[in-house]
């Protein structure tokens, strides 16, 4: 039986804690939506987590990085102040924090953004002769970076992210900045403040998110490689929906320095390309330690995982209730391809699968509430009134889950369930080398079809949660098409630092099939 977890007055209080202003209509909508989401989260109370330690971070063999302090050139005062809306005699200017906050929401005068391509995948062209596209979470020196949000509209970074820098050093120039769900919040590509990205296989369908633009420009052959990020499926979902290949790496394999943060213990920068062979080549450019990112320092990087058994696991929980029958049939045909190639296939159990979405949608919003607190419109960007509906939902959900009196029931409980996910996978990988699974339970759906029900959209990430919560890698590759010619992808998951094994398997599959060679005709 559902209960009213949050009242309208509580939502108003949470919004105040999060420095968000809501009008009466928003209060009503968010009260209903957040109550629905939190009612679903109550499923975690079924899990016995007594004596289970919480997992707040999934690093291994990592120690703090210390370096000698050295005097070097930094930003000039002009550089530091250039993004601020208002300054005074070399200082940032802000309102008196002791003034009473206005509760009214100002009207947002959004300027109409030029659409660079018909799929709304490209936010801006940096260099028409360039050869790589960057998701708009990666900061690019001198090129507008918005994270898909009006909050950062007009923001011009003064430096490159480590990933962008590494590609530049390898000779790859930035061609496009690419559309995405704002801040990485979404599985469909509809939550961009600049409009939804359209699927090139059917422009009425979603492109998948949050790395929607990255997948589309690769699918349409505008670039051979695009950067992306995966917090819970944000590389794998658009990869599946656009018939391209994507790698969500081991957490810590690729530097997060200069990647606008969503959920810091989950964010994984990665790549999209048209074949596993190319993906492996490009991954070598960015798979390295970075002195600017302590999470990239694992001693286990490049470890030898030992002799492989030639056994692939199929999680029984992924093929039960909730999966589209056509998706299941296509996936099982892919499994049969491996079987015919002399791989042993065994069923494995990931018993906590049903709790993945609840755990993820407590941990991730809690971390994003903290990360997005910095956007106050003082040093750069617009004020918090420019946050879109999904960002506001997640900020308030995270603020509530981490507030006094609720941390133990929600955030800490989710962190303990996260530990159980890690144990499930560790147990499975003692029996099998890798795990093969669908990416999405359903094919691409119509734009706007699910926008009124956030929980329904959250549940789409159910197959992405295990690899994300455990910090383990997952390779998404095309494996077929529906009867209406919509792409279907599968993921190959492995233990930490097993990217080369995943690439090997992916390449073997692509030698036996040609799904990845098909291009959209629209």
Tell me: the pLDDT tens digits for 213-264?
999 999 999 999 999 999 999 999 999 999 999 999 999 999 999 999 999 9
pLDDT, position 107: 46
Side by side, the strands of the sheet bearing 245-248 are: 122-125, 174-178, 132-135, 225-230, 268-273, 245-248, 474-481, 487-493, 434-438, 311-315, 344-348
Instruction: Assign 26 to helix, strand or coil.
Output: helix
Q: Which domain holds residue 409?
A: 8-48+76-517
Residues annotated as catalytic (active site), given as ranges: 135, 210, 234
What mean pLDDT, rounded, does the chain reach?
93
Tell me the average pLDDT across 446-457. Answer: 93
pLDDT band, very low/low/confident/very high, at 452 (cuts 50, 70, 90)? confident
In percent, the amount of the chain with pLDDT more than 70 equals 95
| Residue 1 forms part of a structural domain | no
Summarize the confidence of residues 153-181 as an average pLDDT.
97
Is residue 70 domain-resident? Answer: no
Q: What is the pLDDT of residue 344?
A: 98
Could you tell me if 288 and 323 are in contact, meaning their C-beta atoms sit under 8 angstroms apart? no
State both tokens at 304: 């030898």
Is 68 a residue whose pLDDT tops 50?
yes
Q: Is the pLDDT confidence value at 110 over 70? A: no
Question: Is 67 domain-assigned?
Answer: no
The 3-state DSSP class for residue 176 equals strand
Of 301, 321, 369, the closest CA to residue 34 belongs to: 369
Is residue 104 very low, low, confident or very high in pLDDT (cuts 50, 70, 90)?
very low
Q: State residue 6's pLDDT score.
A: 85
Is the residue at 90 inside a domain?
yes
pTM above 0.85, yes or no: yes
Number of C-alpha atoms within 13 angstroms, CB side, residue 141?
12
Q: Residue range 53-69: average pLDDT?
A: 85
Residue 54 lies in a domain: no
Q: How many domains does the chain have?
A: 1
Does pLDDT of 139 surpass 80? Answer: yes
Q: Note whether residue 211 is domain-resident.
A: yes
DSSP 3-state of 310: coil
Nearest to 121 by CA among 82, 176, 84, 68: 176
Backbone angles phi, psi at 56, to 5 degrees: -100, -20
Note the residue count of the chain.
522
What is the pLDDT confidence band of residue 103, given thresholds at 50, 70 and 90? very low
Is residue 173 domain-resident?
A: yes
| pLDDT value, residue 77 | 87
pLDDT of residue 214: 98
* Residue 120: pLDDT over 90: yes
- Dist. CA 349–CA 16, nearest whole Å: 43
Q: Give the CATH number for residue 245.
A: 3.90.1300.10
DSSP 446: B
Q: Domain for residue 383, yes or no?
A: yes
The answer to whether residues 439 and 490 touch, using CB atoms and an 8 Å cutoff, is: yes
Model confidence pLDDT, tens digit, residues 354-387: 999 999 999 999 999 999 999 999 999 999 999 9
Q: How far is CA 159 from CA 139, 165, 358, in A?
A: 7, 9, 37
């Amino acid at each position: 039986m559902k209960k009213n977890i949050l009242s309208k007055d509580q939502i108003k209080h949470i919004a105040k804690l999060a420095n968000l202003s809501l009008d009466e209509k928003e209060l009503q909508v968010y009260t209903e939506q957040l109550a629905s989401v939190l009612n679903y989260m109550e499923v975690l109370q079924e899990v016995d987590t007594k004596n289970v330690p919480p997992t707040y971070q999934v690093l291994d063999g990592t120690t703090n990085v210390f370096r000698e302090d050295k005097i070097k050139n930094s930003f000039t005062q002009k550089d530091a102040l250039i993004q601020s809306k208002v300054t005074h005699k070399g200082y940032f200017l802000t309102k008196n924090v002791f003034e009473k906050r206005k509760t009214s929401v100002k009207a947002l005068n959004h300027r109409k953004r030029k659409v660079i391509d018909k799929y709304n995948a490209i936010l801006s062209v940096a260099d028409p002769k360039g050869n790589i596209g960057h998701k708009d979470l990666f900061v690019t020196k001198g090129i507008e970076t918005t994270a898909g949000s009006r909050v950062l509209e007009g923001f011009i970074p003064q430096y490159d992210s480590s990933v962008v820098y590494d590609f530049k050093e390898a000779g790859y120039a930035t061609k496009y900045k690419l559309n995405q769900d704002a801040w990485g919040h979404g599985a469909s590509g509809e939550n961009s403040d600049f409009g939804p990205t359209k699927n090139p296989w059917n422009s009425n369908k979603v492109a998948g998110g949050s790395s929607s633009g990255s997948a589309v420009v690769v699918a349409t052959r505008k670039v051979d490689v695009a950067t992306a990020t995966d917090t819970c499926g944000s590389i794998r979902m658009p990869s599946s929906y656009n018939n391209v290949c994507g790698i969500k790496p081991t957490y810590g394999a690729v530097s997060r320095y200069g990647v606008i943060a969503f959920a810091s213990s989950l964010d994984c920068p990665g790549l999209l390309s048209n074949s596993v062979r190319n993906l492996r080549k490009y991954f070598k450019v960015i798979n390295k330690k970075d002195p600017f990112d302590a999470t990239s320092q694992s001693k286990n990087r490049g470890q030898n995982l030992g002799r492989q058994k030639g056994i692939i696991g199929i999680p029984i929980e992924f093929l039960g209730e909730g999966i589209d029958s056509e998706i299941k049939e296509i996936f099982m045909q892919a499994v049969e391809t491996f079987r015919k190639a002399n791989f042993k296939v065994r069923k494995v159990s990931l018993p906590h699968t049903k709790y993945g979405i609840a755990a993820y949608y407590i941990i991730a919003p809690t971390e994003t509430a903290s990360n997005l607190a910095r956007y106050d419109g003082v040093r750069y960007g617009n004020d918090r009134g420019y946050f879109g509906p999904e960002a506001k939902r997640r900020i308030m959900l995270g603020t509530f889950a981490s507030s006094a009196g609720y941390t133990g029931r929600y955030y800490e409980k989710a962190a303990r369930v996260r530990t159980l996910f890690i144990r499930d996978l560790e147990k499975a990988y003692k029996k099998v080398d890798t795990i093969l699974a669908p990416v999405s339970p359903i094919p691409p759906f119509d734009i706007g079809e699910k926008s009124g029900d956030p929980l329904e959209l959250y549940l789409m990430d159910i197959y992405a949660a295990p690899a994300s919560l455990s910090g383990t890698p997952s390779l998404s590759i095309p494996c077929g098409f529906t009867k209406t010619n919509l792409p279907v992808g599968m993921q190959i998951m492995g233990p930490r630092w097993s990217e080369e094994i995943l690439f090997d398997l992916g390449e073997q599959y692509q030698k036996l099939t040609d799904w990845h060679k098909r291009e959209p005709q629209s």
